[in-house]
Structure 1
């Protein structure tokens, strides 16, 4: 995988809308954070645009993202917020020259569209807090994004959940929001996960939706050849009046029962209180033991 140059003080970071709208006033805390790291923020043309839910029309959002990709002074593109809308523009973004002159693309949730598509171009990206997230993000989440952007060593150790599947695995870390990965199946943006460690997280889904999405990933071969599975926050899951009968962990364990790779639950990344930065496309080692789990970026 191609790794963009790490940032250094004085570099420029662009904030753009690929999905939901984001105002200049909302950007203030994100600008302060980047400035505290010695970075200069450039607000994209879509910041402040209002097209119902979206930060501008599809064409405006695609053009803004392309503009930042082409600008040699911009060293990273920080997506303003998620919601919905990135899939509407992914085929209109011009990635010509991006592989030769890559830059960091940062975000999570709906930005999984970009993570997955860019992974197929062979370039690393960063799954982490967005500009909108700064106001409610924990210090650890912000610090982890700093380390990812500036090339510092990253290794996460957490307490093991009793539902974990013990073992070790090594491979490229891929993934993101489960609903988005599910929606990309069959398209040019869908990834090959063979031999890789898959990260998934989701928000505000019904348990039977979770079951359906994972069965579809399985039927498409995305779960069979993994080196490991990292399950982040399955936040605010819902059930029907007649219970589905399984919680999120039980659903995942049931669908992956025939596979022998390690599985870790409750990894602190996603829509929960903590959202640690993950360098997607990076080779990682996953060690799941009885008492602790360690994810080390190599």
Structure 2
């Protein structure tokens, strides 16, 4: 996949809100991080509100489209997740973006935008913390902040993860794809369901019932998204819920059970998703992974 140009001091970046509404104070902390990096910031018209959303669909689309088209913007930070980007996908025009590719950053609901960019024109993007999720973080050395700005500068990290008893040992390499399980589940059968043959798939989720985690994993399996993976990386499985009659497994065990018949390596507890210290990851980039008795390691391949 194509990599947008990396970001340097003095470049113009923007913050867009294509999903839920945000208050101005929700992004001020992040704007200060941008200023510390010497970046110029454009916020567009993101401080409107229409029910749950940051404005009506047309307004959010116009704001995002302007930033995608802008020849001088080097990165677009999505202000927050929640819900709403899927309402815009069919109307986004990528002609200007293809001429001036830039990094699109976000996670959770923004998983759908990542998949859209990968399937439409094959451009890599960044799964990372967003201004809203960093609203209470004041330390620029926080791993979510430092990993994000490091990647934007082209400093690609090596990720090391402690061992987990549910891990499956092995080695694999392929394009890193994925994001929020619920969003990927919602994209199955659409134009934006990406092919996973030979890929390293990343999954995370938040605030879901355990039975529904199982339903979504079974759906991915039936859609053929699991059987030919080169590896599976599982991030945060945060604030899960059970019914009065217990499901009988926790979220990690459900995911492990869904891939039991396959032989690719599996890593749990990867520090990304709805977790503190949400590590940035380049989706669409070739990576290698190794899982052994000591833990897991993920590296980018040049």
* Structure-1-length-normalised TM-score: 0.97
* CA distance in 2: counterparts of 1:199 and 1:136, whole angstroms: 26
Q: Any idea what the Cα deviations from partners look like across 1:150-194, whole Å, max 9, x if unmatched?
A: 101311112111110011100000000000000011111111111
- Given candidates 203, 208, 215, the residue that maps to 2:206 is 203
* CA distance in 2: counterparts of 1:114 and 1:100, whole angstroms: 18
Given that 1:173 and 1:196 are in contact with CA atoms closer than 8 Å, whether structure 2 keeps it comes out as yes
- Given candidates 271, 275, 284, the residue that maps to 2:274 is 271
- Structure 2 residue aligned with 1:34: 34
Q: What pairs with 1:180-259 in structure 2 (closer than 5 Å)? A: 180-259=183-262
Shift of 1:101: 2.1
Shift of 1:22: 1.3
- Structure 2 residue aligned with 1:128: 128
- Given candidates 164, 187, 203, the residue that maps to 1:161 is 164
* CA distance in 2: counterparts of 1:192 and 1:99, whole angstroms: 21
Given that 1:99 and 1:122 are in contact with CA atoms closer than 8 Å, whether structure 2 keeps it comes out as no
* CA distance in 2: counterparts of 1:160 and 1:274, whole angstroms: 18
Instruction: Say yes or no: does 1:144 pair with 2:147.
Output: yes
Given that 2:70 and 2:96 are in contact with CA atoms closer than 8 Å, whether structure 1 keeps it comes out as no
Q: Any idea what the Cα deviations from partners look like across 1:118-153, whole Å, max 9, x if unmatched?
A: 111211000001011222457011000011111013
* CA distance in 2: counterparts of 1:2 and 1:100, whole angstroms: 12
- Structure 1 residue aligned with 2:43: 43
Instruction: Say yes or no: does 1:73 pair with 2:72.
Output: yes
SS in 1 for 2:98: coil
Root mean square deviation, CA, Å: 1.0
Q: What pairs with 1:97-136 in structure 2 (closer than 5 Å)? A: 97-120=96-119, 121-136=121-136
- Structure 2 residue aligned with 1:12: 12
Given that 2:28 and 2:135 are in contact with CA atoms closer than 8 Å, whether structure 1 keeps it comes out as no
* CA distance in 1: counterparts of 2:201 and 2:156, whole angstroms: 21
SS in 2 for 1:210: helix
Given that 2:89 and 2:113 are in contact with CA atoms closer than 8 Å, whether structure 1 keeps it comes out as yes
Shift of 1:104: 0.2
SS in 1 for 2:67: helix
Given that 2:104 and 2:126 are in contact with CA atoms closer than 8 Å, whether structure 1 keeps it comes out as yes
SS in 1 for 2:99: coil
Shift of 1:86: 0.5
Shift of 1:10: 0.5
Given that 1:156 and 1:295 are in contact with CA atoms closer than 8 Å, whether structure 2 keeps it comes out as yes
Shift of 1:231: 0.3
Shift of 1:25: 2.3
SS in 2 for 1:151: coil
* CA distance in 2: counterparts of 1:98 and 1:68, whole angstroms: 9
Given that 1:63 and 1:93 are in contact with CA atoms closer than 8 Å, whether structure 2 keeps it comes out as no
* CA distance in 2: counterparts of 1:209 and 1:143, whole angstroms: 34
Shift of 1:30: 1.1
- Given candidates 163, 168, 173, the residue that maps to 1:170 is 173
